[in-house]
A and B are shown apart, each in its own frame.
Chain A
């Protein structure tokens, strides 16, 4: 930086005692720490509320007619329990119920590296149809005009009106992996037809659904009774 220590003409350079420097930095750190703690405490509730509102709004958009939402967290042993803190970074299942209390579908969050950055999305799994019945990108930084078509291209989004996601007989893994295929070559109900010109982003969508369904669907199958009853 600009000011190199300029030795005074007479006395040698006065270096303050280390204790002095430590004291000053300690006091400044203490004040800074206090300021951060106060802000953290003050913003904790609004932040939690905001995130919960956003999640619930996204779920409501994906499940039209939803009256009640229950957020489950998936525990390490594969069981589920009702979540108390939305901020916790655990795998979550958002179950939506209609006015008569019947399960409409389960919304699941997923993410995968796209072309520019990680794409975050949510999809709806219908245990009744054993299929993915809706898909919505929550966050993306893909190239405008190309990769971001995964949020708007009608033909592409039609893939997710009934994308097969069946489990095998043991209900442990997917019967068919969900894959993205080249534009115009979709033959099977578990394939995602890519957008031409946005192959990387389309593939990322296929991968994120496959990865997430592989993990979440067996959990849902094991706990379906509880989720349907809303316990």
Chain B
């Protein structure tokens, strides 16, 4: 994460930039390769991926907003402790909310909801972005990163559920004769799918770079 962020008030295009950054150019999973634990563990179905993606998005946006709000008050020496406190609060809130909305989803995600606390995407954004930027821009950054993460989980969950269970969101796709490729629901399937998506993304980015000015490839 070496990009510089201006401390001045954002212009509209700059705000859009910080939103799109996480969504695409700095996608937390496919580009920064962060938050691998939930990415590999809970993407064995689209429903779980959806729930985890939304939960993380919520925590990311809220914690970014609150961190940005208190950024000038918090002494440097206790900033990490403060950020973790804020993140843990929103994770607890999301934990209660999921339990209130759907017990099956809560059971499927299990400990991984609580583990959002240690998802390095969230602390990473608090430290690298929200602690140096105004509230609005930090919310946009959280939205971009959160939706980027959500998108990545869906990509993995979709492939794994379609191949591993022959279904999408629980609806069978291929009829009763499909022999599901169970491996894709198991941990190795997570690694295979992630590797395949990373391959797609890096080769696609490499091609894009090659098309641009050749001098930029060196940087």
Contacts and interface: CB of A to CB of B under 8 A. Distances in A.
Contacts of B99: 43, 47, 50
Interface stretch (B77-85, B169-177, B204-212): B77-85
Majority SS of interface residues in chain B?
Answer: helix
Interface residues of B, number: 29
B78 A39 contact: no
Nearest to A49: B100
Majority SS of interface residues in chain A?
Answer: helix
What 6 A-B pairs are tightest by C-beta distance, nearest first?
A32-B89, A46-B100, A43-B100, A43-B96, A16-B75, A39-B93
B107 A24 contact: no
B75 A28 contact: no
Interface string A4-36: 010000000001100011001100110011011
Nearest to A139: B107
B54 interface: no
Interface in A116-174: 139, 143-145
B77 A15 contact: yes
Contact of B81 (A5, A25, A39, A43): A25
Interface of A: 1, 3, 5, 15-16, 20-21, 24-25, 28-29, 32-33, 35-36, 39-40, 43, 46-47, 50-51, 54, 139, 143-145
Interface in B46-92: 70, 73-78, 80-82, 85-86, 88-90, 92
Contacts of B76: 3, 5
12 contacts: A21-B78, A24-B74, A25-B78, A28-B86, A32-B88, A39-B92, A46-B100, A47-B96, A47-B99, A50-B102, A143-B186, A144-B182
B186 A29 contact: no
B103 interface: yes
Contacts of B81: 25
B92 A36 contact: yes
Interface in B22-62: none
Interface of B: 70, 73-78, 80-82, 85-86, 88-90, 92-93, 96-97, 99-103, 107, 127, 182, 185-186
Contacts of A24: 70, 73-75, 78, 82
